[in-house]
Chain A
Amino acid sequence: MQRDRTSKFAQNIGIFLFLAPALILIGIYIIWPIIMSFNLSMFEWDGVSPQKIYIGLKNWKDLLHDSIFWHALGNNIKFIFLSIIIEMPIAILIAVLLDRGGKKFDVFKSLFYLPMLMSSVAIGVLFKYIYDPSFGLLSGILSFLHLDFLNQDWLGDPNVAFYSVVAVICWQYIPFYMIFFIAALSNIPHELYEAAKIDGATQGQYFWKIELPLLSPSIKTACILSLIGSLKYFDLIYVMTEGGPSNATELMATYMYKNAFASFKMGYGSTIASAMFIIITTAGVLAYFATKKNEG
């Protein structure tokens, strides 16, 4: 009995020792900055001068009345919705097709994954040229097809710009979910297919009765990933539109960035960052429990 306990104790020490480096790094680079952000949100600070002025909760009060912030949050929510309903079905479809193709489709797996490998900034610059209303590839294709009436002011029209950018982001992220679902599909046991085959199932039945139900845990995880990713999204929007024109494509992260680094309002920027932290954590936890409950 005694011996058992010491070994348990030693084991715990061992676990702790092995975890310690990671815990220390997480503490320094993740937890501490979060605490610092919350702390900074109580100050008026331009980001460069040595003195910060304590203003209590004023930044938070301002945030509650900041229509651009709420507009940005609205955009984030629209963005979650769009990315889930666009990315997931397409990714599932491609994954299923590639999975059925087997080995001979391996080359497509690599090809389709390419957008994910490009840097966001490169994609942004590339699509800025593609969307150019005078010289762009897109307007060229449309006029070649005699569809000029479909041509839009892709990034300059506040009503269109948001969707133009979301389309590019989906293009970039679909491959990620595709690989995710391909991995999940490869885990489905072969016996199931064989059994279905013996029962004389059609291709459609394969999909609806076997693949989709067995993919559902992965789909839920993918949706949570997409949800969190969409809430903190930044790169392509910043490169392509900087949140404009007239805040049409503003997301919480771009608005935070502009406040902190362009307007010299580091304190207010930190308030937005902290608000994002609260919103994203809450949304993530809620989504996690919602999907969990369904499983039970």
Chain B
Amino acid sequence: MLSLVLVFSPSEKAFSSAGGTKKIVFWHITTDENGKKMIQGQVDRFVKAHPDFKVEVVPLQNDSFKTKLKIAMGSNQAPDVFVTWGGGPFFEYVRAGKVKDITAYMNENNYKNRFVEAAFGPITYNNKIWAVPVEGAGVALVWYNKEIFKKYNLKVPTTYDEFLNIVKTLKSKGITPITLANKTKWPGCFWYWNFVNKLGGPSAFERAAERMGGSFADQPFIKAGEMLQELVKIGAFPKGFNGLDWDTGQSRMLLYSGKAAMELMGTWQIPIVKAENKKFYENNLDFFPFPSIKGGKGDPTSLVGMASSNYYAVTTTCKYPKEAFNMIQYLIDDQAVKERIAYGQIPPVKGLKFSDPMLQKVYNIVAKAKSIQLWWDQYLPPQLAETHKDIVQSLFGLKLTPKAAAEKMEKAAKDYFKK
């Protein structure tokens, strides 16, 4: 146990910028080389403008970050600035009084207006703003290998029936239709959430999650489980997907090697693929939005995800909140926006133009979307989110029937909310 904590402690502490005596500790989760360098550069610009400050930048792996933050918050050793996705787990920290209310800072000189409106949903609580939207839009899209589609004469699908035909064709050609690494459970959930979103519309989930006349045992939730299991049964996913790890790239390896053709993943796929396999990014990668389902209530433009994938918040234990906020601004000033676009992100800032057609395409889709359904595991309270992820993983493993899964989730929600 202790060894685990030690291993997860950052080995790159030495990365701290030289500078003065006032210190800001800053945790983020951008661990690929390009991204780490970019953020460090933006922090360095802040330090240059504030020579009396020193910033300790700590990049952490996604899943270990969650634990580390939890322990640090609980033991009063929180960093001054940390990354967050907003939603349920973040509001736990807000309610516990660990996060600084930055509404006043955001309103100063109308700074808030710089960002797209949709970006504020997941970080607004009690009508106050608790974090700054910084990193690009993160919505789930279906990424695919252009070459494979060309080779087998496949057309980008707009309906689920067309999509299912593609899956079957690819399967018959000996290619794994969809790659998936579901050890950490959320990648598989992307399928379930998109199914529910297209089947029942965004309100289906919200009514169930807010306990406002909806139930997790309603038809769209059962149907989503059925459609998911149909994919599993026809062999749409790679062998062993429930044991593969997304963080270490086990799903993308299948994509790069041409063994698998598609992956449902967030737009952070762009910078990651760009960094990991530039050739693949330039020649093979493209995407389409999740296809609409016949008879489903969801709008064809509706998406799952968020307008900004990462936010940065200041803790209440921070000694220099004003400066910490100012440091965050350096992460998303005009210079930073340019750097982020070059890196492959779509910053949550108004009125952008892109030279990379892929980014422009994502930007248009996000701007056009009638609704963006926040990731359920960020929307739900953490305890329920964990139960939900376990249930979906069992659905994928064919260990639960769609009906039993839906009922189990409804029961968990009832127990949690006591209604």
Contact = CB atoms under 8 A, between A and B. Distances in A.
A48 B78 CA distance: 11
Interface string A124-161: 01001101111100000000000000000111111001
Contacts of A121: 3-4, 7
Interface string B1-34: 1011001000000000000000000000000000
Interface string B373-398: 00000000111001100100110110
A33 to B, nearest CB: 12
Contact of B393 (A120, A125, A245, A253): A245
Given A48-B96, A244-B183, A262 B67 contact: yes
Contact of A154 (B70, B93, B240): B240
Interface string B383-418: 100110010011011010000000000000000000
B1 A48 contact: no
Q: Which of A48, A120, A261, A265 gathers most chain B CB within 10 Å?
A: A48
Contacts of B73: 47-48
Q: Which of B7, B239, B250 gathers most chain A CB within 10 Å?
A: B239
Interface in B231-271: 238-245, 248, 250, 253-254, 257, 259
Contact of B243 (A125, A153, A261): A153
A134 B245 contact: no
Contacts of B241: 156
16 contacts: A48-B70, A128-B248, A133-B238, A133-B240, A134-B240, A153-B240, A156-B182, A235-B3, A244-B183, A244-B243, A245-B394, A258-B386, A262-B66, A263-B387, A264-B70, A264-B381
A49 interface: yes
A261 B238 CA distance: 30
Determine the main DSSP class of B at the interface with A: helix
B386 A263 contact: yes
A187 to B, nearest CB: 31
A50 B67 contact: no
Contacts of B51: none
B350 interface: no
A79 interface: no
A234 B4 contact: yes
A246 interface: yes
B74 A156 contact: no
Q: Which of A47, A129, A157, A246 gathers most chain B CB within 10 Å?
A: A246
Interface residues of B, number: 46
B92 A133 contact: no
Interface of A: 46-50, 119-121, 125, 128-129, 131-135, 153-158, 161, 234-235, 238, 241-242, 244-247, 253, 257-258, 261-266
B74 A48 contact: yes
A156 B93 contact: no
Given A49-B97, A263-B382, A156 B393 contact: no
B240 A47 contact: no
B383 A261 contact: no
Contact of B383 (A48, A132, A156, A265): A265
Nearest to A161: B243
B181 to A, nearest CB: 10
Contacts of B173: none
Contacts of A266: 74
B89 interface: yes
Contacts of A242: 183-184
A262 B240 contact: no
Interface in B49-106: 66-67, 70-71, 73-74, 89, 92-93, 95-98
Contact of A46 (B92, B238, B242): B92
Contact of A261 (B71, B93, B182): B71
Given A244-B393, A265-B383, A155 B183 contact: yes
A47 B70 CA distance: 8
B369 to A, nearest CB: 30
A283 B310 CA distance: 47
A264 B98 contact: no
Given A47-B74, A134-B238, A263-B382, A247 B4 contact: no
Contact of B254 (A128, A131, A134, A262): A134
